[in-house]
Amino acid sequence: MKLLWAFAALCLCLSRGSASTAPIIIAEPSEVSNQTSAVLSCNLTDSILPIHGSHWQVNGKVIDHSKTTADTPHTSLHLHKITTQSGGKYECVFLTDPPVQQAIEVRTPPHVAAYKHSEHGNEGDKAVMICVSHSYPLPTDWTWFKVEANGNQSPITNGTVEKFEIKSTTNKTTLIIQDLSIEQDMGDYICSGTNDLGTATDKIQLRVRSRLAALWPFLGIVIEVIVLVTIIFIYEKRRKPDEINDDDDSGSAPLKSNSDTNHKDKAVRQRNSN
């Protein structure tokens, strides 16, 4: 029994010893919010593990130029220009055994972009407009607006009008308009994404064509064929009488020649009889 207690105490001491030597990473700053530039740094302390290098990664993707094989316990990353698209979860990684890492969040206002800035639809069909965001953090709220003739923006929500349907996720929002109307639905639409640091928007122009718009190319071809056939018919109609006159002239010459021959033969017979 005493041996069992002694063994348990030894294990407890070993676990405390290993816990005291666990690597600790001090990251500065712990978070970056709405800044134009920053220097991220990490210091590895209280570690007896050998260091075989380090690197930085953002959103799980390694930043190539940050790789190093130095055994130093310090690493830094200079973000010269922070844009709405360069935000994310940055991590410093020390190549110990096992590797250790620490995260620093670079937070920016949302970045919103329309999938297509111009959409087309036929009257009576449906239109689908999409906006996406790749910012960090992603928008927590999406809103759609219709730009009226006077310039005002009317909000669109599910249930406002039955023909409107909005489907949104954290990084994408979709506006679906059923039964398109030229008078009511054609115009500009705005998608808006908001996170805790701000709001961003983008604009999409919707054009609605008449139901007959798809028939115009076919009708144009038909009209061209009719005009061409009419021209050919008129040309042939005017040309035909001339050809008939030419045939008559060529046929009358032999007849005239035969008549003269008959007269000459008759005169010869009369002279011979005399």
Which tens digit of pLDDT belongs to each residue from 109-157? 999 999 999 999 999 999 999 999 988 999 999 999 999 989 999 999 8
144 contacts 190 by C-beta, under 8 angstroms: yes
Interval 197-216: pLDDT, tens: 999 999 999 999 887 666 66
What is the per-residue pLDDT for 8? 41
Which residues of the chain register pLDDT less than 50? 1-20, 255-256
User: Of 145, 207, 206, 208, which Cα lies nearest the Cα of 173?
Assistant: 145
What is the per-residue pLDDT for 54? 96
**Spatial CB neighbours of 52, under 8 Å, sequence gap ≥ 6:** 69, 71, 95, 96, 97
What is the per-residue pLDDT for 259? 56
User: Of 106, 97, 49, which Cα lies nearest the Cα of 77?
Assistant: 106
52 contacts 75 by C-beta, under 8 angstroms: no
What is the per-residue pLDDT for 221? 86
Phi, psi (deg, nearest 5) at residue 71: -95, 20
Give the whole-angstrom CA distance, residue 205 versus residue 127.
11
